[in-house]
């Protein structure tokens, strides 16, 4: 412990003695560094406010009910989630925004509006997701439907799901997508009308 303290003292001593700059020079250097940091911070804030404005504009101009294909729906979910995060982002970085009420008010409005839209379109998005998945798997004798309040359950039926390994492999493939679309549960049956099923709860 003494050796650590001694080495720290020596380091401080060398730093203070090894520089021929006057206190005035050092002060100017520190001021210069602080100014650069402040300029970087100011640019960062401007960039973020511009991003907020862009998201706000996209929120107003995007028709969230126009498309039905999964890739378009996924992009719209990304936009809405990005908008939702603004309120918390500005709050967490308040030291940079320095009480900029315009930024915080805009962020709160954008976040609130995005939440309302996402809650409104999510049931339809999940239904479209299930229909599109069903269309792509029909030739493989795999059938997909959505059910439950808000279409939060996706039902997947096919003979291949008599094997647990096939269930697990398929779940690994669609896990990210069903989570992204807000499904709460995935149910697997190996034949239509089966009362029993294997299910995964989505967190």
For 137-172, how does the pLDDT look when each residue is reduced to its tens digit (9 = 90+)?
Answer: 999 999 999 999 999 999 999 999 999 999 999 999
**pTM of the prediction?**
0.77
Collapsing DSSP to helix, strand or coil, 146 comes out as strand
For the sheet with 142-147, list strands across it. Answer: 142-147, 153-158, 185-189, 198-201
Average pLDDT over the chain reads 82
pLDDT of residue 10 exceeding 50: no
- Would you place residue 40 in the very low, low, confident or very high pLDDT band (cuts 50, 70, 90)? low
* Tens digits of residue pLDDT in 76-95: 999 999 999 999 988 888 87
User: Using an 8 Å Cβ cutoff, are 113 and 62 in contact?
Assistant: no
Asked if residue 19 has pLDDT above 90, the reply is no
């Amino acid at each position: 412990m003494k050796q650590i303290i001694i080495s720290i003292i020596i380091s401080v001593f060398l730093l203070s003695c090894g520089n021929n700059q006057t206190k005035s020079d050092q002060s100017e250097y520190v001021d210069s560094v602080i100014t650069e940091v402040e300029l970087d911070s100011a640019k960062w804030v401007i960039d973020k406010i511009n991003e907020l404005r862009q998201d706000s504009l996209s929120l107003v101009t995007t028709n969230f009910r126009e498309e039905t294909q999964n890739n378009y729906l996924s992009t719209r979910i990304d936009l809405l989630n990005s908008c939702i995060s603004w309120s918390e982002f500005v709050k967490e970085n308040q030291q940079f925004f320095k009480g900029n009420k315009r930024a915080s008010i805009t962020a709160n409005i954008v976040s609130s509006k995005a939440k309302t839209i996402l809650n409104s379109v999510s049931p339809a998005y999940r239904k479209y997701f299930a229909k599109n998945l069903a269309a792509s798997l029909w030739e493989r004798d795999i059938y997909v439907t959505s059910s439950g309040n808000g279409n939060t359950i996706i039902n997947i039926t096919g003979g291949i799901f008599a094997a647990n390994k096939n269930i697990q492999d398929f779940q690994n493939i669609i896990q990210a997508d069903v989570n992204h679309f807000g499904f709460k549960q995935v149910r697997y049956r190996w034949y239509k009308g089966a009362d029993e099923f294997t299910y995964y709860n989505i967190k």
